[in-house]
Amino acid sequence: MRLPGGMLWVAVWAVLASHVPAASAEVYSLTAAGLGGDADYDRRFAADAERIHGAMQGSASLLTGQGATRETILGELERWAASMTQDDQAIVVLIGHGSMASDDYRFNVAGPDLTGTDLAGALEALPAQRQVLVNTTSASGALLDRLAGRPGRVIITATKNGRELQATRFASHFASALRAPAADLDKDRRINAAEAFAFAERAVADYFEGEGLLATEHPRQLGDNPSGLILARLDEQESDAVAPELLARRETLNDQIRALRARRSQMDQAEYLQELQSLLISLSMVSEKIEAAGGGAQSDSGGRP
Partner 1 sequence: MSRCARHSAWLLPLLLLAGSVGATQRGIHYGEIEDPGLVACDQQLWQGRIQRARECYRQLLGKAPATALRAELAWALGEIKAANSWFRQAVQEDPESASLRTRWGWLFAVTHQAAEAQALFNEALTLDPDYVYAKLGLASVMAGGFSGAASEALEPLLTDANIPTGAAIRASLLKAWLALEEGHLDDAATLLDRADGMLRSSTWPRLELLALRAAHAALGDEPVQPWVDEALALNGSFGDAWAVPAYFMVITRRYEQAGRWYEAALAVQPDLWSARLELGTNLLRLDRPVEARRQIEAAYTGDPYNAKTVNSLRLLDTLDGFEIRTLTMGDKGLKLRLHSEEAAVLTPYVADLTRRSVALFSERYRYTPSQPVVVEMYPDHEDFAVRTVGLPGVGILGATFGYVVAMDSPAARSPDDFHWGTTLWHEIAHIFTLRATDHRVTRWFSEGISVFEEWRTGPVPGRQIPLVALNAMAEGKLLPLAELDASFIRPSYPQQVLVSYMQAGLTCDFIEQEFGFAPLVEILAQYKAGAGTRTAVETALGIKLEQFDERFSAFIDSEFGETFAALTEFEQTRGDATRAAREQRWADVVEPAQRAVTLLPAYVDADSPYLMLARAQRELEQPAEEQATLQAFFDAGGRLPAALDRLAALLQEQDNVAAAADILDESNWVAPLDWERHSRLGGLWMQLGDSDAAVREYRAALALNPHDRADAHLNLARSLQSAGRADEARLEVLSALELAPNFREAQKLLMSLIES
Residues engaged in binding partner 1 (CB under 8 A): 182, 185-189, 198-199, 202, 250, 253-254, 257, 261, 273, 276-277, 279-281, 283-285, 287-288, 291, 297-305
Closer CB to partner 1, 124 or 209, in the complex: 209
Give the C-alpha distances (Å, rounded to integers) separating 123 from 85, 94, 97, 132. Answer: 13, 13, 20, 10
Closer CB to partner 1, 8 or 185, in the complex: 185
Longest dimension (CA), the chain: 66
At closest approach, how far in Å is the CB of 254 from partner 1? 6
Helices (H), strands (E): how many in the chain?
9, 11
Closer CB to partner 1, 95 or 231, in the complex: 231
At closest approach, how far in Å is the CB of 179 from partner 1? 15
Closer CB to partner 1, 46 or 194, in the complex: 194
Closer CB to partner 1, 27 or 180, in the complex: 180
Rounded Cα gap, residues 190 and 181, in angstroms: 9
Q: How far is CA 199 from the centre of its chain?
A: 11
Closer CB to partner 1, 32 or 260, in the complex: 260
At closest approach, how far in Å is the CB of 297 from partner 1? 5
Task: Please check whether residue 8 is in contact with residue 43, taking contact to mean a CB–CB distance below 8 angstroms.
Answer: no
Rounded Cα gap, residues 157 and 133, in angstroms: 8
Q: How do strand 114-115 and strand 153-157 relate by DSSP bridges?
A: unpaired
At closest approach, how far in Å is the CB of 56 from partner 1? 22
Which has the closest alpha carbon to 200: 180, 228, 216?
180
Letter string b/e over residues 251-277, b meaning 16 or more CB atoms within 10 A of that residue's CB: eebbbbbebbebbeeeeeeeebeebbe
At closest approach, how far in Å is the CB of 302 from partner 1? 5
Specify burial of residue 59 (Cβ count, 10 A radius: 0-12, 13-18, 19+): middle
Give the C-alpha distances (Å, rounded to integers) separating 98 from 53, 110, 115. Answer: 20, 13, 10
Closer CB to partner 1, 59 or 254, in the complex: 254
At closest approach, how far in Å is the CB of 40 from partner 1? 19
Closer CB to partner 1, 104 or 188, in the complex: 188
At closest approach, how far in Å is the CB of 213 from partner 1? 14
At closest approach, how far in Å is the CB of 169 from partner 1? 17
Which has the closest alpha carbon to 89: 58, 116, 63?
58
